[in-house]
Amino acid sequence: MKKLFIALLVASPFISTAQNNAFTIKGAIENSARGDSALMRYITPSGAHQQIATPIINGHFTFNGTVAEPVKAEISLKHKSLTDSKDDKLEFYLMQGTTIIQGKSTIEDATVSGTRLNEEYRLYRAEEKFFDNKYQALEAETNAATEQERKAASFKAKQQIKEAAIDSAYYASKRRFAENHTASIAGILALGDYAYTADYSLLQPIFNKFGEDVKASKEGRSFTAKLEKLKITAIGKILPDFAEPDTSGNLLKLSSLRGKYVLIDFWAPWCVPCRAENPNVVKAYEHFHDKDFTVLGISLDGPKYRDSWLKAIKDDHLSWTQVSEFKYMNDTAAKLCGINAIPQNFLIDPEGRVIAKNLRGEALEGKLKQLLTRAELK
C-alpha cells in the first residue's frame, strides 16, 4: 500500500538577488464569471506564510513577485456563481520565470507550463493519479463483493496478491522516474516515495546522481536528512536501543529481546492499512513464536487514545508485546528509525541487526521460513 522532513537552510544555487528570482504567474480560466477571484498561498524558504489574492478579469489573472528558490504553492479559485463548498485548487511550483496556467471552468484540472520544473511535476502528479486509480479500483472491487465473499480466506488472498502487484509496479515506477529525472526536484519527490520501501544501499547511489543544484533545493536538503536517518536503519546495521512503556506501563528495552528474531511493527489503531495487515502478522506469529521469533508492536498514537489502543490489541488478537509513548510521530523509536508514515516494520536478527524491511502479506512468513529453516539446519 502506497502510501509523510525537516529541511536545513544551507547555501543554495537557487538563492540570489531578488530581481534574478522574479516570478510571474499568468492564469486563464475560460469560463470564469465576473466576480471570481484567485488566491495563492505558499511558504517561503525562511518559513514565512504568504497569501496573495487577485481578481479574475475577463478570464485572466496574474501574480508577480520574487521567491528565493522553488517552493510548492497552491492557487485556489473562488467562484462567485457556485454555492457548493467544493474546493477548486491547483498545486504547482512557484519559481523564477513565467508560469502559464490554463483551464476551462476550474483550476484543479488546468494545465501548467512555461517552467520546466512544473512540466516535470505534472508528469510526477500524472503518475501518482495513475496508481491512485488502480488502488481505488481494487478497493471498489473489494467493496463490491458480498460480506461473505470478503470474509473468505481465498478472496482475501487474491486481493492481497493484486495489491502487492500494484505496490511492486508503483515503487518500480518511482525508481525509474527518479533515475530519469536526476536534474529535477520532481525526481527527488519520486525518490522520496521510493524510499518508503527501499533500503539506504539502494537510495544513496541514485541520490548521488542528482545535480548539485537539486541536492541544494529544499527537497534535496530534506532528502539528505532522510538519508542520514535511513543509514542508521540500513540492512546490516544494529538497530539503536530504545525503551518504551508496555500496556502495563513497564518500560521495555528493545535489547531485552536479543536472542530472537524480532519484527518491530510500527502501527496505530486508526491506521486502516495497519489493521488490514495485522492478520498476516498474527498468522506469522502463531506459526513461529515458539521458534525464536517474536513481534514488538509500537503504536504511534496520541495521548488520549490509550483505550482505543488496548481495544484494537484485543480485537485484532495481537498477543505479542505492545508499547507506546502516545506521541504520534514524535515517538522515541519512530524518530530513531526515521519513521514518518505507517505501516512500516523492521525484521532484526538475534543480535539486533536489521535483515529486512516492510515485509507485507505472505512475504513475512516466507522470510521467516527461510531464516528459521536455515537456523534449524545448523
3-state secondary structure the chain: CCCCCCCCCCCCCCCCCHHHHEEEEEEEECCCCCCCEEEEEEECCCCCEEEEEEECECCEEEEEEECCCCEEEEEEEECCCCCCCCCCEEEEEECCEEEEEEECCCCCCCEEECCHHHHHHHHHHHHHHHHHHHHHHHHHHHHHCCHHHHHCHHHHHHHHHHHHHHHHHHHHHHHHHHHHCCCCHHHHHHHHHHCCCCCHHHHHHHHHCCCHHHHCCHHHHHHHHHHHHHHHCCCCCECCCCEEEECCCCEEEHHHHCCCEEEEEEECCCCHHHHHHHHHHHHHHHHHCCCCEEEEEEECCCCCCHHHHHHHHHHCCCCCEEECCCCHHHCHHHHHCCCCCCCEEEEECCCCEEEEECCCCHHHHHHHHHHHHHHHHC
Mean per-residue pLDDT for 261-265?
Answer: 97
Q: Provide, rounded to the nearest whole percent, the portion of the chain with pLDDT above 90.
A: 72
Q: Are residues 124 and 216 in the same domain?
A: yes
Question: What's 78's domain CATH number?
Answer: 2.60.40.1110
Give the pLDDT band of residue 17 (cuts 50, 70, 90): very low
- Residues 199 and 286 both lie in one domain: no
Residues above pLDDT 70, as percent of the chain: 92
- 349 and 273 part of one domain: yes
Pairwise CA distance, residues 355 & 276, whole Å: 24
Q: Is 161 exposed, middle or buried (0-12, 13-18, 19+ CB in 10 A)?
A: exposed
Q: Choose the weakest-confidence range: 20-24, 72-76, 124-128.
A: 20-24
In a domain, 154, yes or no: yes
19 - beta bridge partners? none
- 31 and 157 housed in the same domain: no
* The pLDDT value given to residue 5: 30
Q: Identify any residues that bridge with 264 across adjacent strands, giving them in sequence order.
A: 296, 346
Over range 63-74, report the average pLDDT: 93
CB count within 10 Å of CB 26 equals 15
pLDDT digits (tens, 9 = 90+) for 207-238: 999 999 999 999 999 999 999 989 999 999 99
pLDDT of residue 287: 92
Say how many domains are in the chain.
Answer: 3
pLDDT-based confidence at 9, cuts 50/70/90?
very low
Q: Does one domain contain both 243 and 351?
A: yes
State the average pLDDT over residues 323-344: 92
Half-sphere exposure of 23 (CA within 13 A, CB side): 19
Please give the pLDDT value at position 86. 63
> pLDDT band for position 299 (50/70/90)?
very high
186 and 255 housed in the same domain? no
- Is 244 found in the same domain as 209? no
> Are residue 256 and residue 362 in the same domain, yes or no?
yes
Same domain, 327 and 266: yes
Same domain, 94 and 44: yes
Tell me what pLDDT residue 32 has.
Answer: 84
How many angstroms separate the first and last alpha carbons of the chain? 36
Domain shared by 245 and 349, yes or no: yes
Q: Is the CA virtual torsion 305, 307, 311, 313 positive or negative?
A: positive
Categorize the per-residue pLDDT at 6 as very low, low, confident or very high, splitting at 50, 70 and 90.
very low
Asked if residue 297 has pLDDT above 90, the reply is yes
Clarify whether residues 252 and 369 are in a common domain.
yes
Query: Could you tell me if 347 and 367 are in contact, meaning their C-beta atoms sit under 8 angstroms apart?
Result: yes
pLDDT band at 105 (very low <50, low <70, confident <90, very high): confident
**pLDDT tens per residue across span 364-373:** 999 999 988 7
In this prediction, residue 376 carries a pLDDT of 58
Residues spanned by the domain of 149:
118-233
The confidence score (pLDDT) of residue 18 equals 38
Banded model confidence at residue 357, pLDDT cuts 50, 70, 90: very high
**pLDDT-based confidence at residue 15 (cuts at 50, 70, 90):** very low
pLDDT score of 377 more than 80: no
In a domain, 16, yes or no: no
d(CA 323, CA 254): 11
Task: Tell me the pLDDT of the chain averaged across its residues.
Answer: 89
Give dist(CA 34, CA 54) in Å, integer: 13
